[in-house]
């Protein structure tokens, strides 16, 4: 039984929502950030980049405190308001390719601890602690964890009903997306949504493993520091975006390697031949059509690699994943890539970007070889999580990617 609660969000005033909302800091170029900070005084980037006010770069704990200061200034100027009653928030994104819709709510850190919220990726302890410390200082979170659940007809009925009403926010972005947000605070609808989630045995993290882990660390630390702990304090929960499995868009990551680990082209192909049937497609772009098929670009030519299943032993769910197969049979033994997360010889391109980018970067000499594969399915992700296993880094690129600043979850840690 999973616990998903409404909460009192801090939100932009309706007229300012489109100006406040931003993509993740990492999704902008430096020039874009400078332009936004210069010309848009309402952008949430002013909070995330607090040193701009003083034209000075600030890092570490001092930055955390100044993020909080900028946030409090937005509150004091009434750019943000806090809802009077707990609510769920229905958030819909319409792009040129897809439409997705989900519910923003507070998920339970205890459910995360008890594996009712399941994960499929490893996290780095240093990053967990850093973000936990950040949350503790600033006192709020604006990036929901992306959680997924099986399609549910009753939740869909509520969503359809709410979308018949006027949205609290409706605005377009420069990348031609339209964003909608509805507030759900009617008692009957709150009860219906909560009861439906309570009947679900598990939820799965689609994106946001470090955010989940950091929120759990904050809950643990705050619990120990509070002699009057009840379990109902805001620090026991973290903001999440709950989206049905059919609304997820799962893409793959291509792998690019800087060199052939001392092998000639011919030596490399011969080693690949032990585990793969290889076909040369020349300049014709090849994309895999089924599982355990890979594309490779090497020395100006595209290749298809078909796994020789008679020479590969499938075991648990992890061994069946294409990112794992590529790592165990190519990247590690032939190309000498041990640490997929930190080795500087490997880079990644998510599958939304065309194979032409992979080809271009290799043709420029930045890399020697590149590999692609089909995206993983939600069933593969769930099976891996159910078995308590973790996928190789950069196994999935999952959308939607939400904007920052539309709903803010405030913690009380003392």
Q: Using CA atoms, how far apart are residues 143 and 67, in angstroms rounded to an integer?
A: 15
For residues 151, 107, 101 and 200, what is the CA-based torsion angle, rounded to 10 degrees?
A: 10
Per-residue pLDDT tens digits for 282-316: 999 899 999 999 999 999 999 999 999 888 999 99
pLDDT at 113: 94
What are the angstrom distances between the C-alpha of 18 and each of 73, 84, 343, 403, 406? 19, 22, 39, 10, 9
pLDDT at 355: 84
Per-residue pLDDT tens digits for 369-384: 999 999 999 999 999 9
Per-residue pLDDT tens digits for 183-196: 999 999 999 999 99
**Taking the CA of residue 392 as centre, how many other CA atoms within 13 Å lie in the half-sphere pointing to its CB?**
25
What are the angstrom distances between the C-alpha of 198 and each of 5, 24, 107, 146, 188? 10, 31, 11, 18, 15
User: pLDDT-derived band of residue 56, with 50, 70 and 90 as boundaries?
Assistant: low
Domain regions of the chain by residue span = 4-249+399-410, 253-395
318, two tokens: 């992890």
pLDDT at 8: 96
Please give the span between the terminal C-alpha atoms of the chain, in angstroms, as a whole number.
28
pLDDT over threshold 70, residue 353: no
Q: How many CB atoms lie within 10 A of CB 30?
A: 7
Q: Using CA atoms, how far apart are residues 218 and 212, in angstroms rounded to an integer?
A: 10
Q: What is the mean pLDDT of residues 326-334?
A: 97
Q: What is the mean pLDDT of residues 251-271?
A: 96
- Our separate counts of H helices and E strands in the chain read 13, 21
pLDDT at 54: 67
Percent of the chain with pLDDT over 90: 83
CA dihedral for 207, 211, 214, 219, sign (positive or negative): negative
Per-residue pLDDT tens digits for 237-257: 999 999 999 999 999 999 999
Q: Using CA atoms, how far apart are residues 71 and 49, in angstroms rounded to an integer?
A: 11
Work out the mean pLDDT of the chain and round it to a whole number: 93
pLDDT at 117: 97
Q: What is the mean pLDDT of residues 145-161?
A: 96
Sequence-separated (6 or more) residues with CB below 8 Å from residue 211: 131, 141, 143, 145, 238
**What CATH class does 253-395 carry?**
alpha beta
Cα angle 312, 316, 319; round to 5: 45
pLDDT over threshold 80, residue 60: no
Q: Using CA atoms, how far apart are residues 54 and 50, in angstroms rounded to an integer?
A: 8
Nearest CA-CA partner of 111 in 207, 221, 202, 193: 202
396, two tokens: 């999935």
Q: What is the mean pLDDT of residues 316-344?
A: 95
Q: What DSSP state is assigned to residue 26?
A: G
Per-residue pLDDT tens digits for 1-36: 899 999 999 999 999 999 999 988 778 888 888 899
- Whether 322 and 385 have beta carbons less than 8 Å apart is answered as no
Nearest CA-CA partner of 391 in 338, 317, 297: 317
Beta bridge partners of 307: 276
Sequence-separated (6 or more) residues with CB below 8 Å from residue 143: 24, 208, 211, 239, 402, 404
pLDDT over threshold 80, residue 388: yes
User: pLDDT-derived band of residue 320, with 50, 70 and 90 as boundaries?
Assistant: very high
pTM comes to 0.93
Length of the chain, please? 414
pLDDT over threshold 50, residue 413: no
Nearest CA-CA partner of 89 in 177, 20, 189, 16: 189
């Amino acid at each position: 039984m999973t616990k998903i609660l409404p909460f009192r969000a801090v939100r932009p005033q309706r007229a300012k929502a489109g100006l406040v909302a931003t993509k993740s800091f990492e999704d902008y170029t430096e020039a874009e950030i400078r332009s936004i900070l210069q010309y848009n005084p309402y952008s949430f980037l002013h909070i995330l980049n607090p040193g701009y006010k003083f034209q000075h770069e600030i890092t570490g704990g001092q930055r955390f405190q100044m993020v909080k200061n900028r946030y409090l200034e937005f509150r004091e100027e009434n750019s943000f308001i806090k809802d009077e009653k707990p609510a769920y928030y229905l958030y819909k994104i319409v792009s040129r390719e897809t439409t997705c819709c989900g519910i923003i709510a507070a998920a339970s850190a205890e459910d995360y601890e008890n594996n009712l919220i399941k994960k499929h990726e490893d996290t780095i302890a240093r990053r967990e602690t850093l973000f936990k410390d950040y949350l503790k200082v600033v006192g709020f979170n604006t990036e929901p964890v992306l959680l997924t659940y099986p399609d549910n007809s009753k939740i869909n009925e509520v969503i359809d009903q709410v979308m018949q009403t006027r949205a609290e926010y409706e605005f377009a972005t420069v990348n031609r997306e339209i964003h909608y947000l509805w507030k759900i605070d009617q008692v009957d609808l709150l009860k219906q949504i909560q009861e439906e989630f309570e009947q679900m045995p598990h939820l799965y993290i689609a994106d946001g493993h470090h955010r989940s882990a950091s929120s759990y660390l904050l809950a643990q630390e705050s619990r120990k520091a509070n002699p009057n702990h009840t379990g109902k304090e805001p620090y026991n929960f973290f903001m999440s975006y709950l989206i049905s499995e059919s609304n997820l868009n799962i893409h793959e990551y291509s792998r690019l390697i800087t060199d052939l680990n001392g092998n000639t082209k011919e030596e490399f192909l011969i080693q690949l031949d032990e585990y793969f049937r290889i076909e040369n497609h020349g300049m014709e772009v090849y994309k895999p059509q089924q599982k355990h098929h890979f594309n490779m670009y090497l020395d100006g030519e595209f290749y298809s690699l078909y796994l020789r299943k008679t020479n590969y032993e499938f075991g648990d769910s992890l061994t069946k994943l294409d990112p794992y197969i590529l790592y165990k049979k190519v990247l590690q033994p032939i190309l000498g890539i041990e640490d997929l997360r930190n080795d500087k010889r490997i880079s990644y391109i998510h599958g939304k970007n065309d194979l032409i980018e992979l080809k271009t970067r290799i043709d420029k000499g930045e890399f020697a070889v590149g590999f692609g594969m089909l995206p993983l399915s939600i069933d593969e992700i769930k099976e891996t999580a159910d078995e308590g296993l973790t996928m190789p880094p950069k196994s999935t690129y999952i959308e939607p990617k939400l904007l920052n600043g539309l709903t803010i979850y405030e913690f009380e840690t003392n």
